[in-house]
Structure 1
Amino acid sequence: MNKLLLALGVSALTPLALAKPVIVTSIKPVSMIVAAIAGDKAEIQQIVSSTASPHDFAMRPSDLKKIINADTVVWVGESLERFLEKPLENAGKEESSIEWLALDGMALHNFAKEHHHDEDEAEEAHDDHDAHGDHEHEEHGDHEEHGDHDEHEGHHHDGVDPHVWLSPDNARILAKAVTARLVSLDSVNAEYYKGNLASFEKGLSAKDAEIRNALNKVNKVPYIVFHDGYSYFEQHYGLSHAGEITVSPERKPGAKKVAEIRHEIQENKVQCVFSEPQFSPAIVKTLLEGSDVKTAPLDPLGSKVKMGTNAYFSFLDSLSGQFLSCLG
């Protein structure tokens, strides 16, 4: 009888003992880095689908449930995922979440000041200011360490380019933060998570060097991107960004902007205009009518990358390959 009771007791405790930490992520690039550390010891639940864009995403009841039940929510930050700010606060998950933009040691880029206009400004007035010359990021978008952001209240990063996952250096910082959180949530598997971090850092250094070597062959070739969101990747690898079709993906460029881009294409001898799979390529086709300029999709979210512990490396490979295919 005692043996039976003991067996029943162990059986009742087993599901609790085997429960994995539940990590809710905002977008796929965040999931990639979490997966590299979590392996098969934690459950990852992503909010924004791999084919959607966080720029115009709307929360669903099922997403709210994920947040409520999460052990930790890992997100980029309010300047990219504004839709998460209130739900995190309402669910009492704000303090326990990992906000990538707010991590110590992050090297952040600023958008040019003229990019930030009130939503009710006329589009043509906006167009008067958002044209770019070569490397305007470098002239107006200086790097900032997170610790210097005293002008921002709380976790707000007004004017900061939130596409931080495009920097291998910033990816390393998130990986360390995720490791620390998983170790605190699941100390039994602490060495497993730390080992995964070591493997990730080693693999990242090798992949970074490999991509730099490949992109060095095309880093003088001018191109235009769909939206102004690649500065981390471009500056890290020294690419020749010549402009963008739109500053914000949700804003369609007006006739004046289209004319300006066509002028930029001719003036800068642009070799490629990139589209994005998350948005209609119609505007790119309109821009390139009657020209010999090449076009190709550039996927900043890695929508077709297979998830797994090496997903972030595959994402960097995919993105660099997309650049090479059109610039080479």
Structure 2
Amino acid sequence: MNKVFLALGVSVLSPLALAKPVIATSIKPVSMVVAAIAGDKADIQQIVSSTASPHDFAMRPSDLKKITDADTVVWVGESLERFLEKPLENAGKEASSIEWLALEGMKLHNFAEEHHDDHEKHDDHEKHDDHEKHDDHEHHDEHEGHEGHEGHDHSGIDPHVWLSPDNALVLAKAVTARLVSLDSANADYYKGNLVSFEKGLGAKDAEIRNALNKVNKVPYIVFHDGYSYFEQHYGLQNVGEITVSPERKPGAKKVAEIRHEIEENKVQCVFSEPQFSPAIVKTLLEGSNVKTAPLDPLGSQIKMGTNAYFSFLDSLSGQFLNCLG
């Protein structure tokens, strides 16, 4: 009788015991890092479509449900994904979420500092006049001064932190700790995945650095000012951007300035982005021999899996190499 009762008890409890942690992620690069640790032991629900941009994203009821149903929400932060602030607060998920920008150990870049460096590096005193009016902010002040702005704020912290392998490792460690606390039965699995991720990341980083060293003196222009983590990590030669923020189209004056920069700096490539219309790039390059290619900062075509972040780094470095080489 006891054996029957025990068997019935196990059968009743097993669905609960086998339930996977549910992790809601904001954008695909976040999902890539989470997947490296979670493997097949957690359910990842991504909020922003892989083909959409977080810069102009609007929440739908189905997205709100992902937040409500999640054990943890992993996002980059308010300066990139302002649309998540209220939903996280309303769902009572703010305190339990993992905000990448706020994690201890992050190496953050400040937009104002980057452009100050550009003035010295390229001796170009007019290129970023619209940035000089902003005060420099300390790295952890990214939550101040955002009222009244849509998209992300280009006077403070650069939120594109997933483009730094070092920062990816910081998130991987935070995700590991959270999954271990949510699902202690699989703690060794998550910890083992972290060890594999760190080892694989070190090897991939060295491989990419070696490849990009061949083109790190070649000048180029990007679509928008969002690649500094990758560029500084690998020592690449960015001499400008088409638009300060993807949701703003450059005016005639800016177009003329960019054409001047292309000629003056002997630019070899002007990158577009698959999330935005390439029409402005075509207009800029009419009548020139300058190459153009898409540069995908979100890895929209990368297949999800435990090695997705490595594939993303491979893809991004390959896009640079193909146009600069």
TM-score, scaled to structure 1 = 0.88
Residues 243 and 85 from structure 1, CA distance in 2 versus in 1: closer, same or farther, beyond 3 angstroms? same
Structural RMSD (CA): 2.6
CA distance in 2, matches of 1:3, 1:189: 27
Residues 130 and 48 from structure 1, CA distance in 2 versus in 1: closer, same or farther, beyond 3 angstroms? farther
Residues 141 and 245 from structure 1, CA distance in 2 versus in 1: closer, same or farther, beyond 3 angstroms? farther
Structure 1: where are the runs of 5+ without partners?
Answer: 116-128
Contact 1:222/1:270 (<8 A) preserved: yes
CA distance in 2, matches of 1:141, 1:212: 33
Structure 2: where are the runs of 5+ without partners?
Answer: 116-124, 148-152
Alignment of 1:123-134 (within 5 A): 131-132=127-128
Residues 75 and 155 from structure 1, CA distance in 2 versus in 1: closer, same or farther, beyond 3 angstroms? farther
CA distance in 2, matches of 1:32, 1:143: 29
Q: How far 1:195 sits from its partner (Å)?
A: 0.6
Alignment of 1:141-220 (within 5 A): 149=140, 159-220=156-217
CA distance in 1, matches of 2:167, 2:262: 32
Q: Residues 238-276 of structure 1, C-alpha deviation per residue, up to 9 Å, x if partnerless?
A: 000010000100000001100000000000000000000
CA distance in 2, matches of 1:154, 1:307: 35
CA distance in 2, matches of 1:206, 1:143: 34
* Percent sequence identity over aligned pairs: 89
Contact 2:79/2:142 (<8 A) preserved: no
CA distance in 2, matches of 1:54, 1:309: 23
Q: How far 1:10 sits from its partner (Å)?
A: 1.8
Q: Does 1:255 align with 2:252?
A: yes
Contact 2:137/2:156 (<8 A) preserved: no
What residue identity is the alignment partner of 1:300?
A: P
Q: Does 1:236 align with 2:233?
A: yes
Contact 1:52/1:278 (<8 A) preserved: yes
Residues 151 and 9 from structure 1, CA distance in 2 versus in 1: closer, same or farther, beyond 3 angstroms? closer
Secondary structure (helix, strand or coil) at the match of 2:108 reads: strand
Contact 2:271/2:294 (<8 A) preserved: yes
Secondary structure (helix, strand or coil) at the match of 1:109 reads: coil
Residues 152 and 57 from structure 1, CA distance in 2 versus in 1: closer, same or farther, beyond 3 angstroms? closer
Q: Which residue of 1 aligns with 2:63?
A: 63
CA distance in 2, matches of 1:191, 1:113: 41
Q: Which residue of 1 aligns with 2:44?
A: 44
Residues 104 and 130 from structure 1, CA distance in 2 versus in 1: closer, same or farther, beyond 3 angstroms? farther
Q: How far 1:216 sits from its partner (Å)?
A: 0.2
Secondary structure (helix, strand or coil) at the match of 2:226 reads: coil
CA distance in 2, matches of 1:221, 1:168: 22
CA distance in 1, matches of 2:215, 2:324: 6
Secondary structure (helix, strand or coil) at the match of 2:261 reads: helix
Q: Which residue of 2 aligns with 1:224?
A: 221
What residue identity is the alignment partner of 1:36?
A: A
Q: Which residue of 1 aligns with 2:121?
A: none
Q: How far 1:9 sits from its partner (Å)?
A: 2.4
Q: How far 1:132 sits from its partner (Å)?
A: 4.2
Residues 63 and 10 from structure 1, CA distance in 2 versus in 1: closer, same or farther, beyond 3 angstroms? same
What residue identity is the alignment partner of 1:216?
A: N
Q: Which residue of 2 aligns with 1:24?
A: 24
What residue identity is the alignment partner of 2:110?
A: N
CA distance in 2, matches of 1:243, 1:249: 14
CA distance in 2, matches of 1:44, 1:130: 45
Contact 2:23/2:43 (<8 A) preserved: yes
Number of residue pairs the alignment of both structures matches = 308
Q: Which residue of 1 aligns with 2:150?
A: none
Q: Residues 80-128 of structure 1, C-alpha deviation per residue, up to 9 Å, x if partnerless?
A: 000000000011100000000000111111112899xxxxxxxxxxxxx
Q: Which residue of 2 aligns with 1:121?
A: none
Q: How far 1:2 sits from its partner (Å)?
A: 5.0
